[in-house]
Amino acid sequence: MNRQLRRMNEREEAKQSAGESAKSTAALKAERAAKRGSAKTQRKQRTGPRKFIKEAIVELKKVDWPGRKEVVTYTTVVLISVVFMGGLIFAMDLGFAKLIFGIFK
């Protein structure tokens, strides 16, 4: 028995133990199919490109953009981090290469 059927059976048993009348599996499947069918017919209309661009511009105006000082600070931190990590990886690579060549020579 797959998970979906097991869960459906557990729901039915829970309803029966609560004193409510449980629907049959076929009735539950029919209800779900009807809900899916109605959801497909009620799809939202697509937004046109012009409206999308206007809404995107409105949203971008709401963004709290960083100032020049913040951008310079963040850029400096990133560049220093990249140089440091690059140097660390270079040093480790050089050390491992010397170690390996020393072992196999």
Residues 63, 89, single domain; the answer is yes
pLDDT at 20 exceeding the cut of 50? no
Residues 31, 57, single domain; the answer is no
Residues 30, 54, single domain; the answer is no
pLDDT at 36 exceeding the cut of 50? yes
Query: Read out DSSP for 22-81?
Result: PPPHHHHHHHHHHHHHHHHHTPPPPPPHHHHHHHHHHHHHTS----HHHHHHHHHHHHHH
Residues 95, 53, single domain; the answer is yes
Domain count, the chain: 2
CA distance 44 to 59: 21
Calculate what percentage of the chain has a pLDDT beyond 70. 86
User: According to the model, what pLDDT value does residue 7 have?
Assistant: 83
Domain extent at residue 65: 49-104
- Average pLDDT of the chain to the nearest whole number: 85
